[in-house]
Protein backbone atom coordinates (compact mmCIF):
# COMPACT_ATOMS: atom_id res chain seq x y z
CA UNK A 1 0.00 0.00 0.00
CA UNK A 2 2.82 2.40 0.92
CA UNK A 3 4.48 1.66 -2.40
CA UNK A 4 1.28 2.50 -4.28
CA UNK A 5 0.89 5.78 -2.40
CA UNK A 6 4.56 6.62 -3.07
CA UNK A 7 4.18 5.77 -6.76
CA UNK A 8 1.08 7.99 -6.99
CA UNK A 9 2.91 10.87 -5.30
CA UNK A 10 5.82 10.53 -7.72
CA UNK A 11 3.46 10.30 -10.69
CA UNK A 12 1.62 13.48 -9.75
CA UNK A 13 4.69 15.51 -8.82
CA UNK A 14 5.03 17.06 -12.26
CA UNK A 15 5.59 20.76 -12.89
CA UNK A 16 1.97 21.95 -12.86
CA UNK A 17 1.42 25.51 -14.08
CA UNK A 18 -1.63 27.51 -13.19
CA UNK A 19 -3.52 30.57 -14.23
CA UNK A 20 -5.47 32.18 -11.40
CA UNK A 21 -7.84 35.11 -11.38
CA UNK A 22 -9.97 36.67 -8.70
CA UNK A 23 -12.59 37.61 -7.67
CA UNK A 24 -15.17 35.16 -8.97
CA UNK A 25 -17.90 37.80 -9.05
CA UNK A 26 -17.29 41.39 -10.02
CA UNK A 27 -19.08 44.66 -9.62
CA UNK A 28 -18.64 47.79 -11.68
CA UNK A 29 -18.49 50.99 -9.68
CA UNK A 30 -18.33 54.62 -10.85
CA UNK A 31 -14.88 55.79 -11.84
CA UNK A 32 -13.37 59.27 -11.80
CA UNK A 33 -14.67 59.82 -15.34
CA UNK A 34 -18.31 60.59 -15.97
CA UNK A 35 -20.35 57.69 -17.37
CA UNK A 36 -17.42 55.31 -17.11
CA UNK A 37 -17.52 52.38 -14.71
CA UNK A 38 -14.57 50.56 -13.24
CA UNK A 39 -13.80 47.17 -11.78
CA UNK A 40 -10.55 45.55 -10.71
CA UNK A 41 -9.35 42.04 -11.36
CA UNK A 42 -6.29 40.31 -10.02
CA UNK A 43 -4.25 37.79 -11.95
CA UNK A 44 -1.69 35.46 -10.44
CA UNK A 45 0.59 33.89 -13.01
CA UNK A 46 1.78 30.48 -11.97
CA UNK A 47 2.36 29.41 -15.56
CA UNK A 48 6.06 29.32 -16.29
CA UNK A 49 5.39 29.07 -20.03
CA UNK A 50 3.19 32.19 -20.19
CA UNK A 51 4.12 35.83 -19.60
CA UNK A 52 1.21 37.57 -21.30
CA UNK A 53 -2.49 37.66 -20.51
CA UNK A 54 -5.19 39.33 -22.58
CA UNK A 55 -8.17 40.95 -20.91
CA UNK A 56 -11.59 40.43 -22.52
CA UNK A 57 -15.08 41.68 -21.71
CA UNK A 58 -18.11 39.80 -23.01
CA UNK A 59 -21.88 39.89 -22.99
CA UNK A 60 -23.94 36.79 -22.23
CA UNK A 61 -23.48 35.46 -25.77
CA UNK A 62 -19.73 35.94 -25.62
CA UNK A 63 -19.76 38.96 -27.93
CA UNK A 64 -16.96 41.40 -27.17
CA UNK A 65 -17.86 44.62 -25.40
CA UNK A 66 -15.71 47.73 -25.77
CA UNK A 67 -13.56 48.33 -22.73
CA UNK A 68 -10.39 50.05 -21.65
CA UNK A 69 -7.50 48.71 -19.61
CA UNK A 70 -4.04 50.17 -19.12
CA UNK A 71 -2.87 47.48 -21.57
CA UNK A 72 -5.03 45.00 -23.43
CA UNK A 73 -2.30 42.38 -23.25
CA UNK A 74 -0.60 42.52 -19.89
CA UNK A 75 2.89 41.31 -19.18
CA UNK A 76 2.87 39.24 -15.98
CA UNK A 77 6.03 37.40 -15.07
CA UNK A 78 6.04 33.94 -13.55
CA UNK A 79 4.79 34.00 -9.94
CA UNK A 80 3.84 37.65 -10.25
CA UNK A 81 0.47 38.98 -9.13
CA UNK A 82 -1.02 41.98 -10.88
CA UNK A 83 -4.17 44.04 -10.36
CA UNK A 84 -5.78 45.39 -13.49
CA UNK A 85 -8.45 48.07 -13.70
CA UNK A 86 -11.10 47.49 -16.36
CA UNK A 87 -13.28 50.38 -17.55
CA UNK A 88 -16.53 50.17 -19.50
CA UNK A 89 -19.15 52.70 -20.58
CA UNK A 90 -22.09 53.08 -18.25
CA UNK A 91 -24.39 52.34 -21.19
CA UNK A 92 -22.78 48.89 -21.56
CA UNK A 93 -23.21 47.98 -17.91
CA UNK A 94 -26.43 46.01 -18.27
CA UNK A 95 -25.18 43.81 -21.09
CA UNK A 96 -21.75 43.14 -19.63
CA UNK A 97 -21.65 39.66 -18.13
CA UNK A 98 -18.08 38.33 -18.17
CA UNK A 99 -14.61 39.75 -17.65
CA UNK A 100 -12.03 37.21 -18.75
CA UNK A 101 -8.30 36.80 -18.98
CA UNK A 102 -6.73 34.60 -21.65
CA UNK A 103 -3.16 33.37 -21.63
CA UNK A 104 -1.22 34.38 -24.72
CA UNK A 105 1.81 32.72 -26.25
CA UNK A 106 4.55 34.38 -28.21
CA UNK A 107 4.50 33.05 -31.73
CA UNK A 108 7.71 31.17 -32.10
CA UNK A 109 9.07 27.93 -33.38
CA UNK A 110 7.50 25.42 -31.05
CA UNK A 111 6.59 21.82 -31.64
CA UNK A 112 4.25 21.50 -28.69
CA UNK A 113 0.50 21.71 -28.62
CA UNK A 114 -0.15 24.70 -26.39
CA UNK A 115 -2.83 24.82 -23.75
CA UNK A 116 -4.33 28.27 -23.54
CA UNK A 117 -6.22 29.04 -20.35
CA UNK A 118 -9.10 31.46 -19.94
CA UNK A 119 -10.74 32.35 -16.64
CA UNK A 120 -13.92 34.39 -16.59
CA UNK A 121 -15.40 36.28 -13.66
CA UNK A 122 -19.07 37.12 -13.77
CA UNK A 123 -20.76 40.45 -13.14
CA UNK A 124 -23.29 40.18 -10.34
Partner 1 sequence: MFKKVLILATLLSATMAHADNPTIRGTVASKCSVYTTTQGVFGNPSPDVLSTAPAAGGVQPIVRYDVAIGDYYYGKITYPDSFTSSPTLTSSAVDVSQVSVPAMSAYTNNVVTYDNTFQYDLTEAGSTWFKVSAVATYGYNQAFPAGSYVASVVAECIAK
Residues lying near partner 1 in the complex (CB under 8 A): 14, 16-25, 44, 46-47, 49, 98, 100, 102, 105, 107, 109-122
CB of 82: closest distance to partner 1 in angstroms?
Answer: 13
| Of 116, 23, 123, 124, the residue nearest 67 (C-alpha) | 123
Q: Rank residues 22 and 69 by Cβ distance to partner 1 and give the closer one.
A: 22
Q: Rank residues 25 and 32 by Cβ distance to partner 1 and give the closer one.
A: 25
CA atoms within 13 A on the CB side of 95: 12
Alpha carbon distance 22, 120 (integer Å): 9
Instruction: Give the 3-state secondary structure of residue 55.
Output: strand
Residues 6+ apart with CB under 8 A from 49: 17, 105, 114
Q: Rank residues 4 and 11 by Cβ distance to partner 1 and give the closer one.
A: 11
Amino acid sequence: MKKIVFAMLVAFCGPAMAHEMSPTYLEFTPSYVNDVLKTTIEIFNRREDVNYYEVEVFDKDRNLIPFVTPAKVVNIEYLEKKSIDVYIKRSDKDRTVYVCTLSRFIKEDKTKTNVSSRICSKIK
